Structure 1
């Protein structure tokens, strides 16, 4: 049975939500300043996604699990 790292799965989920919100907020005009800023910062979700994926591989590889967990 494969061990799941829930905090990394959560980070990937937040990253995906951020990217989706960025694309949606670009199409909607008249957003409040707070939502607009959140949409702009959501673009960092791509970097967060890549970091979480690479961190997952690093953790699994460093603990001796050589199998790719996808």
Structure 2
């Protein structure tokens, strides 16, 4: 179980707030990230990524691997 006390979540400024298709991300002190679905905030699952996993994901996004 992940301790979510003190976690500061943020979502994309492109999110229109309608609750559809948005995720929130929180930074961890070790460089990792937490990710959750905005519409399930507080009740849904939270995914945890290590710093290296997150860096690989961001690199893939920048290279268009998920288009």
Superposition TM-score, scaled by structure 2 size: 0.26
- Higher strand proportion, which one? 2
- Higher helix proportion, which one? 1
Task: Return the structure number with greater relative CO, CA threshold 8 A, min gap 6.
Answer: 1
Larger Rg: 1
